[in-house]
Amino acid sequence: MVTVDQVLTALKNVKDPEIHKDIVSMGMIKDVSINEDKLAFTLELTTPACPFNSEIEQDVRNSISTLGIKDLDLKVTARVMEGRSISMDQLLPNVKNILAVASGKGGVGKTTVSVNLALALAKTGAKVGILDADIYGPSVPLMLGLKQSPEVIDNKIQPPITENVKVMSMGFFYEQSQQAGIYRGPIISGIVKQFITDVNWGELDYLIIDLPPGTGDAPLTMAQTIPITGILIVTTPQDVAMNVAVKSIGMFNKLNIPIIGVVENMSYLSCPNCNEKINIFGKGGGQKISEQFKVPFIGEIPLTPQIMQGSDEGKSIIISDPNSEYSQAFYRISKITAGRISVVALELQDQEEEKEKILQ
């Protein structure tokens, strides 16, 4: 009869393809039980958006088959790892990971990426929130079709929820769409801090912060106020966007915040007649940044009127046409991003364990 130790030994041969550690030492195997010839256990992935979930599950089944077990009851679940140092006296203690989406300049589609990334992660079952930190030109509510004003309960702002995503934006508080946000730097910093301290975010696996473009007050306030898991840089193929995006990477490197990777938006236009890729804005800007700074290239998002139209109408393409080429691009990027966040989370976990050993 096969023993639990034999099962765990076999499973130690299975490694997470991105984290490069075996699934047993990472604590991904739970509740192992053997009843006669039947084996049951739970495989707990590091995120419901794991880009290698099918690969890991198949490797697990293959490893178990070498033991001669034919009756396997395998449950696959997920628990998102914490990618930031959290203690009860810190801000947002129930938020496991904070991903800030940044760009060097406006007009590269950073908010479009933020919104669709949040929706794609929520579709996997993750608990997701999105904070629109662009105080001057908030557009997240428009892209999500949200018009209602948030309620205030027990002195806490309750973020509206759409498609299982909690949303907060200064756009909810402007009396009319034409009202301009005219604020100096210190006021901007105060508003951003309020969105952190005075909003009831609850438990979240991922809080996505849509930063305003550039390296001004809002990005600096976020970086200096809360522990951020990592930064996702959005650029477009042309050199001018790439050169400005480099400045954002330089700022976050100085602040010692990990760069999760680079996303290239508006990468190409698929010809409707011949299916060829037309590089309207040039080619390779995101890849160049990736190579220059040795950060992952997360992926490309095509240029299409459907994405623009959906953003204007408050109907994201992830929701309106989930099986389209463009939606699948966002899903791929969300999975790769979630995987990268798990890597950062594990590195942080290892660092904290080393600190504890030194203090003992």
pLDDT average, residue stretch 310-339: 88
The sign of the torsion formed by the CA atoms of 342, 343, 346, 351 equals: negative
In the CATH scheme, what is the code of domain 95-333?
3.40.50.300
pLDDT digit string, tens, across residues 202-255: 999 999 999 887 766 667 777 777 889 999 999 888 877 777 788 888 888 888
Instruction: Among 44-58, 210-224, 234-248, 261-275, name the one with the lowest average pLDDT.
Output: 210-224
Beta bridge partners, 321, equal none
Please report, for the chain, the start and end positions of each structural domain, with discontinuous segments joined by +. Answer: 4-78, 95-333
The whole-angstrom separation of Cα 338 and Cα 126 is 10
Q: pTM of whole model > 0.85?
A: yes
Give the per-residue pLDDT at 44: 95
Residue 263 has φ and ψ, to the nearest 5°, of -110, 130
Cβ atoms of 118 and 126 closer than 8 Å = no
DSSP 172: G
pLDDT digit string, tens, across residues 144-198: 999 888 999 999 999 999 999 999 998 887 665 444 455 555 677 778 788 888 9
Give the per-residue pLDDT at 160: 94
The whole-angstrom separation of Cα 31 and Cα 266 is 46
Q: How many Cα atoms occupy the beta-carbon half-sphere of 125 within 13 Å?
A: 11
The whole-angstrom separation of Cα 97 and Cα 227 is 9
* Residue whose token pair is 């039980």: 33
Tokens linked to 110 = 């950073």
352 SS3 class: helix
Q: What angle do CA 234, 236, 240 make, to 5 degrees?
A: 110
Query: Checking DSSP bridges between strand 277-278 and strand 269-270, what pairing results, if any?
Result: antiparallel
Of 122, 126, 108, 118, nearest to 143 (Cα)? 118
Q: Looking at domain 4-78, what is its CATH homologous superfamily?
A: Fe-S cluster assembly (FSCA) (3.30.300.130)
Average pLDDT, the chain: 86
Give the per-residue pLDDT at 322: 87
**What is the dihedral angle through the alpha carbons of 58, 62, 65, 70, rounded to the nearest 10 degrees?**
20
CA 175 to chain centre: 31
